[in-house]
Structure formats: C-alpha cells, structure tokens
Amino acid sequence: MRDAAPDQSNQTIYLRDYAPVPVTVTHVDLSFRLDPKATRVQARLTCARQGPGDMVLDGEGLKTISVAIDGTAITPRIDGDRMILTDLPDAFLLETEVEIAPQDNTALSGLYMSNGMYCTQCEAEGFRRITWMLDRPDVMATYDVEIEADLPVLLSNGDEKGAGRWHDPWPKPTYLFALVAGNLVATSDSFTTSEGRDVALNVWVRPGDEGRTSYALDALKRSMLWDEKVYGRAYDLSVFNIVAVDDFNMGAMENKGLNVFNSRYVLASPETATDADYANIERIVAHEYFHNWTGNRITCRDWFQLCLKEGLTVFRDQQFSQDARGFATQRIGDIMTLRARQFREDAGPLAHPVRPESFVEINNFYTATIYEKGAEVIGMLRTLVGAEGYDAGVALYFERHDGQACTIEDWLACFAEATGRDLSQFMLWYRQAGTPRLTVTEDFNNGVYTLDLKQTVPDTPGQTNKSPMTLPLAYGLLDATGTEIRPTDVFEMTDRAARLSFNLPEKPVLSMLRGFSAPVVLEFAQSDADRLILLAHDTDPFTRWEAGRALAKDRLMRAVAEGAGFDAGWIDAVATLATDADADPAFRALALALPSEDDLAASLHGSGVVPDPDAIYIARRAASHAIATRLASDLPGLRAACATPGAYDPRAEDAGKRSLSATLLRLQTLLDGGAAARAAYDAADNMTDRMAAFTCVLDAGDTEVAARFEADWQHDRLVMDKWFMAQVAHAAPNDAVDVASKLTAHRDFDPGNPNRFRAVIGGLTAGNPAGFHRADGAGYAFLADWLLRLDKANPQTTARMSTAFDSWRRFDADRQDLIRTQLDRMAGTEGLSRDLGEMVARMLA
Ligand code: ARG
Ligand code: ZN
C-alpha cells in the first residue's frame, strides 16, 4: 500500500478556520513491535461521529500495511500525509498497521532512538509519524498500549497492567502520548497525595547515571506538595515516571505520567552540574509536573491556544521557584530572561501575539512570547484581580473545564465571572504583539508632584495602529533621604495617556514599575541622583536593581555612542553595593552584572544609534576594568567572604555566594591576567566553581586549560557540552568563528545531538555576539552553513537556531547586506524544511 508522504506543504493555518472534527476517536489501542529499522505499529481506534463529514487522518512517513473498518479490509484514499475515509457509520472500529524506522528518525519527533533506547516526542505533531490518527489536541482519548521488545524496561502513559502493558484512564490528546523502551535503571521513591493516593516515583536513566538523579527526584516531590498546597491540585495516577534522554530537541515534555527530559535537565552531581543546572532542573521538573493539571487535565483546543498551557505553567513554575529560592533574585532573573529573549523577539521580524492567529509550522511557535510573555500576562491578571480573585478564577477554571480542550476565552471568562471584572481590554495582551512603550515625565511645582504617562504599542508584522492596553503599574514614592513616603500602589492605566498628581512638600523619588508589574519598555529620563537613592534604599528589589541597571546602561550607551568615559560617581555606587556585606550576595552579583552586549545593541538601536558590536564589547570590558580597578584591594577579601564551607550544597543561599564569587573573579582576572582564576580552577571541588574559573582563564586568553579540562571530562557528555560552549563563548571576538569552526571538526562534535549543536553554534551566536557579528561576515556564513547542513536531519533544532539572525535589521548596512546574503541563500535552497523555510521567510519579510 502507498506510503504516507513526509509533510512538505507550506500552507498557512489560521485560527479563524478552526472547526471540530466530524468523526472523533474516544479510545486508542496500540501495539508496538519495536525494531530499529522496522517497527510495527497496530492501532485500533474507537471512532464516533459527532457531525457530518469525512474522517481525515494524519500520517507522515508511514509505510501503511493494512487498514480495516469494523474488521473489513479497505483500500483508503491516501493523499500525501492524509488518509481520507468517507461514507462512515456513526460508530466503528478503525484498525491500521504501519511500519516505521525509529533508527532513521533524526528529526527527534515521533518515535526515535537515542543511545540504544527508544523514545518518543509527540508535541506538537509527532504522533502522526508513529501511526495514522487525528493528530490534534481537541481529540481526547483513553489509551491501552502494548510494547513488545527484547528490552528490560518498557514504559508508556498511565498505570502498568503487566509487562509492557499500560492503560491510561485519563482522556488525552495525541501530543501527550509517550513510549520509552531500553536498558534503563530507576531511582525510586514514593509520594502519598492529599487524597490518599500512593504514587510510585521513578527517575529512569542509563546505567551509570543513577548517582545523578536525587536532585530531580527531590524537586519532583517538592513540586507535588507545592501544587497541592498552592493550587489544590493532586496527582491522579499510581505512578509518575521521568526518563532522561540524551538526544532531545527541547527541554522536556509533560507526557501523561511519563515525562521525558533532555538529560541535561535531570542529571546532576556537584562534580558535573553547576548551580544554574540545579536551578534549571528544579524549575523544569516542576514545570512538567505542573502541566499535569495545566495542560493535561485541561488542554488546548488547538495550537493557537498554546499559551493557555505554557504561559500558565511557566507562571506556576516561576511562583514555585520564588518560593523555593527567594522572591527577589528569582523575579529579577526571570525578568532578565524575558527581556533578553522575548523583548528581542517582540522587537523584530518574528514578533507575534501571545495567541498567534496563523502559522505554517507550529514548532516554530514554542517561543519566548508564548512562554515568557504568556507568563507575564498571567502575572498581570493576578495583579489586576488580586490574589483572592486569582485563586477564585483558577478554581473555577479547574472545576468547569477539567477534561476539556479549551481556549483563552474560556480561561478569561472564569476570571470575569469569578471577579465581576470586564476583561475585554485585557484580552489585547493575547492579541496584540509588540512590547508597549511607557513614557513617564515628572514635574514638581508648588507642592504638586505630577506624573504624565503615555503608552504606545509599536507596529509588528501584520499589525499596525494598535489600541492602548491595560497596564497595571505598581509604583511607590521615596523622599530625598530614601525613606518610603508612599508604599506600593497599583495604577491601572487603560488609556493612551494618564496623569497622576500628589500633594507633597518636596519632590519625591519615583519608584516606577515595581516588581516589573507590566512587561513594557519604560522610558523615563530619571536623574542620576534619584537612581542612586533608589539603588541604595528602594524597598522593592526589582526597582532597586533596575535603578543600578539604568545607571550602567546609560554609561555604557554613552561610551559606545560618544566614547564617553566612566564617572567616579557611578563606579563608587557600584563599589558600595559590591562591598555591602549586609546585602544579599545573589543580589550583589545581579547588581554587579553589566547589561549584556545584546541588551545594549537593542537599546542603542531603540534610541536611534546603529549598534557597533565591537564597540559594545570594548565598552563593557572597559567598564568592567574600571570597576575592577576601583575594587582592586577589596577583591581578595570580598571573594574570601563568599566561601561556603563544607560540602557543596545546591541551595540558593550558597549558590548566591558562588555567583558573587564568580563575578568578583571575573573582575580580578582583568587585573591579574588570570592568575587567581588558574588557582581557583585547581582548587575547585564542584562544577560551579570550576566553570567560573575555567571561563575566566579562557577570558584571559589562556587556552591551555581547555586541554586539561578535556582530559578530565571527555567521558562525560553533559560536561563536554560545557567545554565546547565555553571555548566559543569566551574566545576573543576575532577568534570566535575559528574556534567554533575548529570545534565542529572535533571527534566528539555530533551535530545530530541538539545539545552539542547548540553548545558550539549557540556558543557563537548567543555566547559571543561580537564574534558572531565579525565585520567580514564569517560568523553569518558559519551559521548559515550549519543550518543548511542540519536542516534535512533535524529541522526543529535548525529553525530554532536560525533566530540568531532575527535582530539583523539593527545593524549597519554592511552587516545587513552580509546577513541578507545568507538569508537569501537559505531561502533559495531547494528542499528547505518547512520549519526553516518559514523562519527565513519571516525574517526576510
Ligand atoms: N510542552 C513542552 C514544555 O513546555 C515543550 C515541548 C515542545 N516541543 C516541540 N517540539 N515544540 O514543557
Ligand atoms: Zn510547558
């Protein structure tokens, strides 16, 4: 019988075209006979009519062996990647058998192999690469799965009914299906839910990795407890499995009862993982677990509603991490990520609404806008309706929509009803792309302090003339001594312009956008004096940190644009904070970190200056040098005060000290040519300190250390990812492309492994901006070469990496020409994947 073709259509899909299926599937019975080259999949689909029309099933790259309806073999019409069944009864059993080759599946979507194990990734549309099915989230079915293979561990969703037999009683869409088979070992524990259910917990890894599972398991138990305590949500199966997979396109996947993780987000030991790795593991374990309610029990009607589960689940994992690690540093870190990734996306050709209205390839929409801006939108909603209103709205959502596939309208209706608020203007946060700009001007006259506020929402692809948004603006006022004279209040701005006035004896210091209460670009020419007062005294950790950042940004931008030097007043303020033993070390580390090169490029561009990547690099280095020189005699003592005696502990308190210590070592390196860093490298007894020292030694231009690192760690894939990335990210800008290019010839460079590909290529594009933007265009050609090379094998990872080009219109005409040449070259390449094709087309538009 004819094969289902790989899907190559480049058709745009529109939200407005959504229609429910005429015939749905209520139960799925699957049996797998696993074989690397010829896996047989038998599917028995219990089908039921719910409206008039044909049944159109999805299948991609399947070799169809047989199809039968109610036991009678048929020859169906197969048109590319669709199977069209006509003249169907109201209820029937559809049986198919197909053959697939997991070993040849390099796209890592559907059923594939990684290091000898079988695993699946079905979100968003990978199930159709396993068997014929209605591969869309509004078709929810119960599942029975049978796995036959000569392997010790055979896993699928739900509860185990016998060797290799699984039953999932909770109706779910295809994208939550999972199968894992291999030679795996588990670290196990148990959890008793608030409802009295005993749950077996397992973290499955390859033999040899068992010693690195305890942190993930601990994070899982804490997540389960947290969701019961904070959201009243208990787990609903007898087992919860987590599997670590080495080859994985994304971070992790929330398959019902069988979460599959990129191994870098599971495996941790003090010797191999950094504090950042531990924090990511905690966050992602929580994220995937929280999806069990926000995503699985209540799922999305269609992929346009992706933020319904992702924005909400990111918001929940951020709340969890704040509780686990401290509010201030977690919130500031999340805001830094949002700005670095989402603001950048929102300002360029890939900008799209939190709920997009069209797409070509849905995998291109697992973006910072859907995830991180989606989470900020939930945070604003909570600010607007209050903590109690939020709890009431969420409770109504769970009660009303459990077991359903929903829309953003369903979600907001729960809040409108629970709180009586009209949320129609708020809905614009889901519809309008672009980061709103909030301009603030202040005036003090005759005892009256006046604030004029103006908001504009910039044009984005396909959207102009936007309406004003609801902006919850949290603010407070301080007096000239830094005493708070007006605690936090939230002004709900709904119009394009607004004015606030206050009767006060003297001009206050404005602390605007506390907690970053709305994801906007704040344009407020606040005086240095006021910023210094905020930096020293503000009660809100975000605005306090932000004041320091604004001071730094202002200096750095002037240094780049006008060659201005760094004033002692600013350097003193930085030094004061750095040496403030009473301040939290993690906060001090955040306050000492200068705005990133990309952040500066974006800000310069926003202020009408064409950013020069080399000048930005030089200015940041000069600023660091000035700070280091000012602190020179303090550095050894400050570092010593960061010591964390005893065995390595990943807890936030210790991580904060290590983070400050690393920041100080980086400054020290600018003064001593890497002497202290070399000593720190030798003395390190954990990977956090080791990586900090390693990258400092590289910064000092000493590459010999890389050979030692390699000799010590070449057996360890995850540590070697760090080795690959660090050398590229910490190469001198002029060497970075050559370093990266040389590393792609290393015997352990495997572009088919997404982590390794991202380590080297991403090490350049994200880790070394001045190197990537080398004036001769070598960085651009290097990236395009690798994108074209990987595109056929793994379009998802390729398309994602291509976003490195999305800021191209910021730069000078020569660089724009060089990048356009590469974009054109890709666009003109025959057989380009739909994934990369869509990205390139959007970036060129
Ligand atoms: N739902 C997963 C998560 O956020 C992400 C999976 C995305 N996969 C993809 N192929 N786009 O946890
Ligand atoms: Zn998610």
pLDDT in tens, 151-176: 999 999 999 999 999 999 999 999 99
Q: Using CA atoms, how far apart are residues 226 and 835, in angstroms rounded to an integer? A: 37
Q: Using CA atoms, how far apart are residues 665 and 573, in angstroms rounded to an integer? A: 19
Average pLDDT over residues 440-468: 98
What CATH number did the domain enclosing 324 receive?
1.10.390.10
Nearest-ligand number for the alpha carbon of 362 = 1
pLDDT in tens, 244-253: 999 999 999 9
Which residue has the CA at smallest separation from atom 3 of ligand 1?
253
Residue that is last in its domain, among 501, 525, 549: 525
Q: What is the DSSP letter of 87?
A: S
The best mutation among 258, 366, 369, 839 to test binding of ligand 1, ranked by most ligand atoms within 8 Å of the C-beta, falls on: 366
Cα(798) to centroid(ligand 1), Å = 16
Handedness of CA 410, 415, 420, 424 (dihedral sign): negative
Average pLDDT over residues 619-635: 98
Whether the predicted pLDDT of 1 surpasses 80? no
Cα(251) to centroid(ligand 2), Å = 9
What is the SS3 assignment for 119?
strand
What CATH number did the domain enclosing 44 receive?
2.60.40.1730
Shared domain check, 174 and 103: yes
Residue that is last in its domain, among 431, 446, 473: 431
- Residue written as tokens 């190469």? 731
Quickly state the pLDDT bin for 179 (edges 50, 70, 90).
very high
Q: Using CA atoms, how far apart are residues 802 and 286, in angstroms rounded to an integer? A: 29
Shared domain check, 457 and 378: no
Cα(221) to centroid(ligand 2), Å = 18
Residues written for the chain: 845
The best mutation among 253, 289, 834 to test binding of ligand 1, ranked by most ligand atoms within 8 Å of the C-beta, falls on: 253
Domain assignment present for 539: no
Domain assignment present for 133: yes
Q: Residues with beta carbon inside 6 Å of ligand 1?
A: 123-124, 249-250, 252-254, 287-288, 310, 363, 366, 796
Q: What are phi and psi of 184, to 5 degrees?
A: -125, 155
What tokens appear for 194 in the block? 């608030």
Which residue has the CA at smallest separation from atom 8 of ligand 1?
123
CB atoms within 10 A of CB 776: 11
Cα(30) to centroid(ligand 1), Å = 23
Its ipTM equals 0.98
Least confidently predicted of 9-13, 650-654, 786-790: 9-13
Q: Which residues are catalytic?
A: 288
Nearest-ligand number for the alpha carbon of 255 = 1
Q: Which long-range CB contacts under 8 A does 544-551 form with residues at least 24 apart? A: 545/332, 545/587, 545/590, 545/591, 546/513, 546/516, 548/573, 548/574, 548/577, 548/591, 549/595, 550/526
Average pLDDT over residues 642-654: 97
pLDDT in tens, 800-828: 999 999 999 999 999 999 999 999 999 99
Whether the predicted pLDDT of 561 surpasses 70? yes
Average pLDDT over residues 1-27: 88
**In what helix (H) or strand (E) does residue 172 lie, and over which residues does it extend?**
strand 165-172
pLDDT in tens, 745-776: 999 999 999 999 999 999 999 999 999 999 99
Shared domain check, 457 and 348: no
**In what helix (H) or strand (E) does residue 159 lie, and over which residues does it extend?**
strand 159-162
Average pLDDT over residues 351-360: 98
Shared domain check, 174 and 122: yes
CB atoms within 10 A of CB 9: 11
Residues 6+ apart with CB under 8 A from 337: 368, 372
- Picking from 209, 267, 217, the residue whose alpha carbon sits closest to that of residue 241 is 217
CB atoms within 10 A of CB 503: 8
Give the number of the atom of ligand 1 that is nearest the alpha carbon of residue 371: 4
Q: Using CA atoms, how far apart are residues 187 and 185, in angstroms rounded to an integer? A: 7
Quickly state the pLDDT bin for 2 (edges 50, 70, 90).
low
pLDDT at 83: 98
Cα(310) to centroid(ligand 1), Å = 9
Shared domain check, 464 and 400: no
Shared domain check, 422 and 466: no
CA angle 75, 78, 82 (to 5 degrees): 135
pLDDT in tens, 261-273: 999 999 999 999 9
Q: Using CA atoms, how far apart are residues 585 and 657, in angstroms rounded to an integer? A: 5
The best mutation among 129, 250, 360, 794 to test binding of ligand 1, ranked by most ligand atoms within 8 Å of the C-beta, falls on: 250
Q: Using CA atoms, how far apart are residues 402 and 296, in angstroms rounded to an integer? A: 9
Give the number of the atom of ligand 1 that is nearest the alpha carbon of residue 109: 10
pLDDT in tens, 666-725: 999 999 999 999 999 999 999 999 999 999 999 999 989 999 999 999 999 999 999 999
pLDDT at 87: 96
C-beta of residue 538 within 8 angstroms of C-beta of residue 544: yes
Cα(310) to centroid(ligand 2), Å = 5
- Picking from 706, 785, 712, the residue whose alpha carbon sits closest to that of residue 746 is 706
Q: Which long-range CB contacts under 8 A does 500-505 form with residues at least 24 apart? A: 500/450, 500/451, 500/453, 501/448, 501/449, 501/450, 501/451, 502/448, 502/449, 502/450, 502/477, 503/447, 503/448, 503/449, 504/444, 504/447, 504/448, 504/449, 504/477, 505/447
Shared domain check, 145 and 49: yes
Domain assignment present for 473: yes
Cα(246) to centroid(ligand 2), Å = 19
CB atoms within 10 A of CB 572: 12
The best mutation among 60, 119, 123, 369 to test binding of ligand 1, ranked by most ligand atoms within 8 Å of the C-beta, falls on: 123
Domain assignment present for 413: yes
Which residue has the CA at smallest separation from atom 11 of ligand 1?
363
Shared domain check, 446 and 404: no
Domain assignment present for 7: yes
CB-based burial of residue 181 (10 Å sphere; 0-12 exposed, 13-18 middle, 19+ buried)?
buried
What CATH number did the domain enclosing 458 receive?
2.60.40.1840
pLDDT at 3: 74
Residues 6+ apart with CB under 8 A from 827: 837, 840, 841, 844
Nearest-ligand number for the alpha carbon of 121 = 1
**H-type alpha helices, 472-540:** 528-537
Whether the predicted pLDDT of 49 surpasses 70? yes
Residue that is last in its domain, among 404, 431, 458: 431
- Strand-pair partners of 521: 437
pLDDT in tens, 485-517: 999 999 999 999 999 999 999 999 999 999 999
Quickly state the pLDDT bin for 311 (edges 50, 70, 90).
very high
Nearest-ligand number for the alpha carbon of 250 = 1
pLDDT at 4: 73
Average pLDDT over residues 53-75: 98
What tokens appear for 746 in the block? 């290393």
CB atoms within 10 A of CB 581: 8
Give the number of the atom of ligand 1 that is nearest the alpha carbon of residue 284: 12
For residue 319, the enclosing domain spans 303-431
Cα(406) to centroid(ligand 2), Å = 16
Shared domain check, 510 and 383: no
Burial 613-627 (b: 16+ CB within 10 A, else e): bbbbbebbeebbebb
- Picking from 352, 196, 223, the residue whose alpha carbon sits closest to that of residue 289 is 223
Cα(252) to centroid(ligand 2), Å = 8
Give the number of the atom of ligand 1 that is nearest the alpha carbon of residue 291: 12
Q: Using CA atoms, how far apart are residues 807 and 780, in angstroms rounded to an integer? A: 12
Handedness of CA 271, 276, 278, 280 (dihedral sign): negative
Give the number of the atom of ligand 1 that is nearest the alpha carbon of residue 295: 1
Quickly state the pLDDT bin for 9 (edges 50, 70, 90).
confident
What whole-number percentage of the chain has pLDDT above 90? 99
- Residue written as tokens 């039968």? 68
Cα(253) to centroid(ligand 1), Å = 6
What whole-number percentage of the chain has pLDDT above 70? 99
Give the number of the atom of ligand 1 that is nearest the alpha carbon of residue 313: 4
Domain assignment present for 658: no
Nearest-ligand number for the alpha carbon of 366 = 1
CA angle 220, 161, 159 (to 5 degrees): 25
Shared domain check, 460 and 408: no
pLDDT at 8: 67
The residue type found at 358 is S
Q: Considering its fold, how many domains does the chain have in total? A: 3
Shared domain check, 154 and 13: yes
Q: Using CA atoms, how far apart are residues 765 and 784, in angstroms rounded to an integer? A: 11
Which residue has the CA at smallest separation from atom 12 of ligand 1?
253
pLDDT at 278: 98
What tokens appear for 312 in the block? 């909400």
Shared domain check, 359 and 458: no
Domain assignment present for 656: no
Nearest-ligand number for the alpha carbon of 313 = 2
pLDDT in tens, 195-228: 999 999 999 999 999 999 999 999 999 999 999 9
Which residue has the CA at smallest separation from atom 1 of ligand 1?
253
- Picking from 476, 482, 455, 474, the residue whose alpha carbon sits closest to that of residue 466 is 455
Give the number of the atom of ligand 1 that is nearest the alpha carbon of residue 287: 12
The residue type found at 459 is D
Domain assignment present for 135: yes
Which residue has the CA at smallest separation from atom 2 of ligand 1?
253
- Picking from 198, 419, 233, 429, the residue whose alpha carbon sits closest to that of residue 319 is 233
C-beta of residue 726 within 8 angstroms of C-beta of residue 710: no
Give the number of the atom of ligand 1 that is nearest the alpha carbon of residue 310: 4
